[in-house]
Amino acid sequence: MKTNTIKLGLKENWKQFTILVIVNAFVGGMIGMERTIIPKFAEIEFGIASKTAILSFIIAFGITKAITNYFTGKLANRFGRKNLLLFGWILAIPIPFILIYAESWNWVIFANILLGISQGLTWSSTVVMKIDLVGEKDRGLAMGLNEFAGYFAVGLVAFLSGYIAQKYGITPYPFYLGIGISIIGFLLTLFFVKDTRVFVQKENTTNKTEKLDNIFLETTFKNKTLSTITQAGLVNNLNDGMIWGLLPIVLLSLNYDSQNIGIITAIYPTVWGFGQLVTGKMSDVYSKKKMLFWGMLLQGIAILFIPFAAAFYQLAAISAFLGLGTALVYPTFLSAIAQATTPHQRAESIGTFRLWRDLGYAIGAIISGITADLFGVNYAIVLIGVITIVSSLIIEIRMPKDSL
């Protein structure tokens, strides 16, 4: 495809965009497969009771996904987005089989290392490809649709895996979902997805954003806009790592069964997913700084209420508010990073952001796991809630008012 024959925009590229939305739903489904059942799987199958040990699978997932995010962004222009996406799916296919036949907890850790690499390649590629297609006008909406598809699928598959575990047992039946998801995702990518590098060349001819001297350092520390977004992304996934690992443990301690645990844990990513259909478009219209501040603040407040709730509807409401707060920030993170960087530097800057953001999974699991083992689960939850509120204040104080 020649540069002078292509057009940027959601409407102009809706067919390819829709395919990528569907593919990202399958990407999200791979996480949802584990979301509800792994803590119980650890206790029943391997007799693991330590919170830190149980959360080790999230640590393995977070570190490998984070590192892969960075290299996916760095290598996207060289090897092509589609090739990286395909390789991610190839790595996903063995994961459910490893979980089904795992003879020790180390195999579960290995499966989550593969899952982290796969998610870094697949999710990062679909994010960058959608931003390539739509251009500047509809970035927030594009990210809202992308993250909606991914996290709605996380919620849906989390509910289904919890339901299947309740009805048929913790293994192997819930993992059959992953077999179907990974194979279909690979085939959709192979036959229907087209690479989008040429769209970057097109946008670069009209883009006037200043180049970054050092993409990694500017995104991480030096640029006030980019680095403030990055710290908030890290804290967002830090609290998500805690919710992923500790919320099912809290619900088990309150004597909820697998099906009700599945419902409560699924509400959060489902509201998060659906909410982004609205908040993504909002970030094209309203102040991105304000959306990031209020979203992080709402998350922090919701988390602080968890130790004081026991009734199903209380916990469901907290899960919903947490999902709403996350919906406000998630597409806004990505559209804000894209707006603050040039087209050729965008993939690497997004990769750097996603490196730190997904390290939050590992950091959150380590902090909350150790705190839970030493002082109790409720103390761990309160600590993470306070950290999230502090992150919102950093956005308010440090991010320039007129930057986004």
Q: Tell me: the pLDDT tens digits for 222-241?
A: 999 999 999 999 999 999 98
Half-sphere exposure of 65 (CA within 13 A, CB side): 33
Please provide the DSSP assignment of 226-237 as one string. Answer: HHHHHHHHHHHH
Instruction: Indicate whether 177 pLDDT > 70.
Output: yes
Backbone φ and ψ of 128, nearest 5°: -65, -40
What is the distance between the alpha carbons of residues 228 and 292, in angstroms, rounded to a whole number? 10
Percent residues over pLDDT 90 in the chain = 63
Instruction: Say if residue 172 is preceded by a cis peptide, omega within 30 of 0.
Output: yes
| Mean pLDDT (whole number) for 358-373 | 89
248-284, pLDDT tens digit by residue? Answer: 889 989 998 888 888 898 898 889 888 999 999 999 9
Question: Is 209 strand, coil or helix?
Answer: coil
What confidence score (pLDDT) does residue 3 get?
Answer: 56
pTM: 0.85
User: Does the domain made of 11-205 have the CATH classification 3.10.150.10?
Assistant: no
What is the distance between the alpha carbons of residues 312 and 326, in angstroms, rounded to a whole number? 21
Q: Identify the residue with better confidence: 146 or 135.
A: 146
The chain-wide mean pLDDT, for the chain, equals 90
**Domains 11-205 and 215-398 fall in the same CATH topology:** yes
Could you state, in order of their start, the residue ranges of all structural domains in the chain? 11-205, 215-398
36-49, pLDDT tens digit by residue? Answer: 788 788 888 888 87
| Mean pLDDT (whole number) for 189-195 | 96
List, in order, residues 6 or more apart from 156 with CB less than 8 Å away: 29, 32, 266, 270
Which of 179-188, 198-207, 334-343, 347-356 shows the highest mean pLDDT?
179-188
User: Does the domain made of 215-398 have the CATH classification 1.20.1250.20?
Assistant: yes
Instruction: Indicate whether 218 pLDDT > 90.
Output: yes
Please provide the DSSP assignment of 124-186 as one string. Answer: HHHHHHHHHHHTTTTHHHHHHHHHHHHHHHHHHHHHHHHHHHHHH-SSSHHHHHHHHHHHHHH
Span between the terminal Cα atoms of the chain, in Å? 33
Instruction: Indicate whether 355 pLDDT > 70.
Output: yes
Instruction: Indicate whether 5 pLDDT > 80.
Output: no
